[in-house]
Amino acid sequence: MATASNPSSGLSTGTAAGAATDRVFLRKASGLIKTAGTLDVFIYNIGTISIGIGIGGILLYGYAVYPGANLPVGAVIACVAMAMICGGMIAWTLTIPRSGGIYPFGSRALPPWIAFMVSFVENICWIFLLTLGAYWVTNMGIAPTVTAIGSMSGTHWITSLGTALAKPGWTFLVSTLVLLLAGWILISGMKRFFFSQKIVFTTAMIGSIVLIVVLATTSRAGFVHNFNHYFGPTATYRGVIADAHRHGWSLGTSSFKNTLLASNWFFLPLIGAAYSIAIGGEIKSSTKAQPLGMLGAIAISMVVWVLTMVLANHVFGKEFLGAIGNNSLNGLESTPSTPWAPILGGVASGSVVLTVILGLSFICWIWMWVPAMQAYVERAMLAWSFDRAAPGSWGKVSQRTHTPVVAIAIVTALCILALVGICFWSFFATMVIFIETALVAWGVVLAAGVVFPFRRPDIYEKSPIAGRRILGLPLMSVLCGLGTIGAALYFVLTYMDNFAAGHEPKRLAVLVGCFVVGAAWFFVTVKLRRRQGIDMSLAFKEIPIE
């Protein structure tokens, strides 16, 4: 007797066929539900961009490490390249609207072992970066905000508390609590996660607007007066610049090369603009939500960054920003604290209340990295499990909250382990080189998308963009081609930038090791499944379960 089938899920509905299908996928349905609207997707993406991390990193490193750079132009270049990458990811997620990041895409377009390997490596990168986010909540957000409040109010114990929080032991403790809180919110369900993100985003955005208003209404003379008042006579505006010059730093002349390299610090957070591919199967209307969520997040980030940097140049001065960043990075005594955004903005405002608002905003921006990135990794683990490429327990989804509870627990534990390395081992504290690795993984999948309409027309022709062409080529091929170029550009830029990432042999060895482990994992799993009577190759011939 013939059996009917469900083409959207690739699952047969007949009894005999259903039993056969159960041997292909872990189960007939993922257990995830569609809870994300367009606003949720936008907030998810702009949160994982984290406007605050972009501002914080570029104010500290921009002119200090890349003298002569044009930071507003660097922001625009990074945003354009990320928009190209997002175009390719939009094409993919509309063609295969499933949760799991790049894994559902690559596993249906590439040799399965390559698809799993790049997904494995990509998620190692995200585990590191979300852990770095938890570390930055304390080190870049809470500690400098407390220090600024103590200095501005003249309260010594508050200043001492800020200094203590920046020490490895306290940073580890507070950051661990941040990771545990993120895990708890995700276990509670995606509705609670999206609701919490709305609250945090609103707070973060208010602070960013306040910073722009403060900078727009503050003169250079006003900032110099406030800085000298709060930190003098030990540290003065002119003294900071003079000390940097004495130790060999200078602003230099205009440099397009340094503009490109400095743009890495905008691109680092911008990669989060495409993170909603992780929850593709949980979005109510992907056709509208994914393009608006990704590209809208990039557009808003670019506007805020360009405005902030133009005003920062006017109020603080390029030379001062470069000098205080250089002095902080080299531990010179003329600089009282790391010049994070809450400190500089707070000093410019001259108000403890506004400093608290700016600090809280900065903390909120960084926080948004943590649970959102964690959700990405968990969805990838879930997708691996469905295809039998990971233990079945990793695919366990709570019937009450519809969240992958086992995967959440595993990722939280791995992040705490990674936090040990970041807090107590300088080798890992600067491993921004992981972005290079993620770009390789994304580049491989984007390149596969160029030929996907021709290699898998059975899947592509069911896509809502299947009938669209540019210059006679499928829209997906064009968008993924541009995305591959964008990923390749920033792989080259991060590879060339020895400060942000570079290619130090020891670190490259770690990254190559991740690829080797990912490939080995897949081949060992294939053998184990064969002993269980399961042919994993069958799963890759169908669209992943919904």
Domain harbouring 499, CATH code: 1.20.1740.10
The pLDDT value recorded for residue 155 is 85
Alpha carbons 63 and 324: distance in angstroms, whole number: 10
In a domain, 192, yes or no: yes
Q: Is residue 543 part of a domain?
A: no
**pLDDT, average across residues 293-305:** 96
CA-closest candidate to residue 430, choices 372, 373, 487, 504: 504
Is residue 17 one of the residues assigned to a domain?
no
Confidence of residue 265 (pLDDT cuts 50, 70, 90): very high
Question: Is the omega angle on the peptide bond into residue 233 within 30 degrees of 0, that is, cis?
Answer: yes
Average pLDDT score, the chain: 88
DSSP β-ladder status, 469-470 and 5-6: unpaired
Q: What span, in angstroms and rounded, lies between the C-alpha atoms of 481 and 449?
A: 8
More confident residue, 393 or 8: 393
Q: Which residue type sits at 296? A: G
Structure tokens given for 363: 């903390």
Share of the chain above pLDDT 90, in %: 60
Looking at residue 402, its pLDDT comes to 84
* Residues linked to residue 469 through DSSP beta bridges, in sequence order: 474
CB atoms inside a 10 Å sphere around CB 173 = 12
Query: For residue 16, is it within any domain?
Result: no
In the chain, the number of structural domains is 1
- Is 20 domain-assigned? no
pLDDT digits (tens, 9 = 90+) for 88-107: 999 999 999 988 999 999 99
Residue 11 within a domain: no
Question: Any idea what DSSP says for residue 317?
Answer: -
Q: Do residues 321 and 330 touch, judged by C-beta distance below 8 A? A: no
C-beta of residue 161 within 8 angstroms of C-beta of residue 146: yes
Model pLDDT, residue 43 = 95
Helical H runs in 247-317? 256-262, 264-270, 286-315
Q: What is the mean pLDDT of residues 55-63?
A: 92
For residue 236, is it within any domain?
A: yes
Within a domain: 537: no
Residue 73 neighbours by CB distance under 10 Å: 16
Is 339 in contact with 348 (CB distance < 8 Å)?
A: no
Given a cut of 50, whether residue 17 has pLDDT beyond it is no
Question: Which domain range does residue 344 map to?
Answer: 31-528
Question: What pTM was estimated for this model as a whole?
Answer: 0.88
When mean pLDDT is compared across 165-179, 291-305, 391-405, the lowest value belongs to 391-405
- Give the model's pLDDT for residue 431: 54
**What is the Cα–Cα distance from 259 to 262, expressed in whole angstroms?**
5
Name the residue with tokens 């080995």: 520
Closest CA to 316 of 207, 241, 255: 241
